[in-house]
Amino acid sequence: MTYLLALGGCVLLFAGGEWLVRGAVSLSRRAGISPLLIGMTVVAFCTSAPELVVSLEAAARGQVDLSVGNVVGSNIANILFIIGLSALVTPIVMKPAAIRRDLTVMLGATAVLIGLSLIGVIERWHGGIMVGALITFVWYSYWKELSGDTPAAELYIAEAEEFSGVTKRTWLALLELVVGLAALIAGSQMLVTGAGEIARSFGVAEAIIGLTLVALGTSLPELATSLVAAARGHAEVAVGNVVGSNIFNILGILGVTAMTRSLAVAPGMVSFDVWVMLAAAVALVPLLLWRGRIGRLAGVALIGSYVAYVAVLYTGVAGTGAM
C-alpha cells in the first residue's frame, strides 16, 4: 500500500504538472503575453510546481530533509539523468551564447546553496533574498531579450512552443489549470506520506528518499518535456528547460519554502550531495560553453554518473546513509 501511495503521488504530480503548464500557457497566449515571457516565467515556474508543492508539504509536516533533499536531488537528476537521456535520444547541439547567462546564474545559485548548507541552516531571511534574486534575474533577462532575436531569446521561445499546441477556450484552459493544481496538491500529499513510510520501513534516512524517490517524482514534468523535445529534434530545449528549472528550484522553490520555516540541512547532505550537485553543474560548462554539444557518449556518461550516485547513497558509502 505504501508503494502504491508513493507511485500514485508520482503519477498525479506528472499529470498535474502537465495540465498546469498547458493550461497556464494557453491562458497566457489568449492574454496576449509574448512567447518570450511565457518561456521565461510561465513554463519555468509551472514545470517546477511539483517541487514547490512537495517541498512546502514536507516542510509543513516537519520533514525538512525531504524538502531540501527534493531540491538538491532534483537538480542532480535534471542534469545527469534528464539531459543524459535527452542526449541519447538526440545529440544536443546548441549555441553557447543561448545558455551562457543562465548557466552562469545556475552555478551562482548552486554556490549560494552550498554556502548556506555549510552554515547548516537556511533561515527565513535567506529565503526572502533568494526569491528576490530570482525575480531580479527574470526581470533582467526579459529586459535583455526583448528584441527577441538573440540566441537566448530563441531558446526561451522554443521552450514556450513545446507547450503551445492549439490555444484552448478560456474555460477549458482554466479547467486544466485548476485540475492540474488540485492534482499537484493531492499528489504531493501522497508522495510525502508514502516516502516517509518507505524511509521508516527500510530504516533509510528521509534525506535519501528525498534525494532519490521524491526528487525523481517531482522531476517528471521536466523529464517528459525534455524527452518529447528531443524526439522532435529540439534537444536544446531539454538543456534550457533543465537549467531554468534548476535556477527556479534553488532560488524559488527552496527560497519560498525557507520563508515558511527555517530549513536545517542534514550533515550527510552537506558533506556529499551538495558537492555532487555542484560537480554536475560544473560538468555542463565544457560540454555546452566550449564544445556546444552533448553527444550520445556524453549522455551515457551522465546517466552512468547518476546511477553511481544513487548506488553510493543506498550503500551508505557517502555517509548520508541509513538511520
Tens of pLDDT, residues 22-51: 777 777 777 777 667 777 777 777 777 788
- What is the per-residue DSSP string for 79-118? IIIIIHHHHHHS-EE--HHHHHHHHHHHHHHHHHHHHHHH
For domain 2-315, the CATH superfamily is NCX, central ion-binding region (1.20.1420.30)
In which region does residue 63 sit, left (phi positive, over 0), alpha (psi from -120 to 50) or beta (all else)? Answer: beta
Helix (H) or strand (E) holding 25: helix 2-30
Q: Model confidence over 276-292: pLDDT tens digits?
A: 999 999 999 998 888 77
- pLDDT of residue 321 exceeding 50, the answer is no
Residue predicted with more confidence, 119 or 61: 119
DSSP-derived 3-state class of residue 264: strand
Residue 293, SS3 per DSSP: strand
pLDDT at 70 over 80: yes
- Helix ranges (DSSP H) in 120-234: 124-144, 151-161, 170-202, 206-209, 215-218, 220-231
pTM: 0.86
The predicted model gives 106-132 an average pLDDT of 96
Mean pLDDT of 64-80: 92
Task: Give the pLDDT of residue 260.
Answer: 94
Alpha-carbon gap, residue 65 to 80, rounded angstroms: 22
Per-residue pLDDT at 164 exceeds 50? yes
Give the mean pLDDT of 68-73: 93
Q: Please give the pLDDT value at position 162.
A: 67
Distance of alpha carbon 106 from alpha carbon 72, whole angstroms: 13
pLDDT above 80: residue 202: no
- CA dihedral (221, 274, 186, 178) positive or negative: negative
- List Cβ neighbours of 313 (8 Å cut-off, separation of 6 or more): 208, 211, 212, 273, 320
pLDDT at 163: 66
Q: Smallest Cα–Cα separation from 209: which of 256, 273, 252, 282?
A: 273
Q: What span, in angstroms and rounded, lies between the C-alpha atoms of 10 and 320?
A: 24
Given a contact cutoff of 8 angstroms between Cβ atoms, the answer to whether 210 and 22 are in contact is no
* pLDDT bucket at 4, cuts 50 / 70 / 90: confident
Instruction: Please determine, for residue 216, whether its predicted confidence score (pLDDT) is greater than 50.
Output: yes
Span 236-273, pLDDT tens digits: 778 888 888 899 999 999 999 999 999 999 998 999 99
pLDDT beyond 80 at 130? yes
Identify the three-state secondary structure at position 196: helix
Position 189 pLDDT exceeds 70? yes
Please state the rounded mean pLDDT for residues 219-237.
77
What is residue 272's predicted lDDT score, i.e. its pLDDT? 94
Mean pLDDT of the chain: 83
Is the pLDDT confidence value at 124 over 90? yes
**Helices assigned H by DSSP within 203-290:** 206-209, 215-218, 220-231, 235-247, 255-260, 267-268, 274-284
Measured CA to CA, the distance from residue 1 to residue 113 in angstroms comes to: 35
Classified as helix, coil or strand, 263 is strand
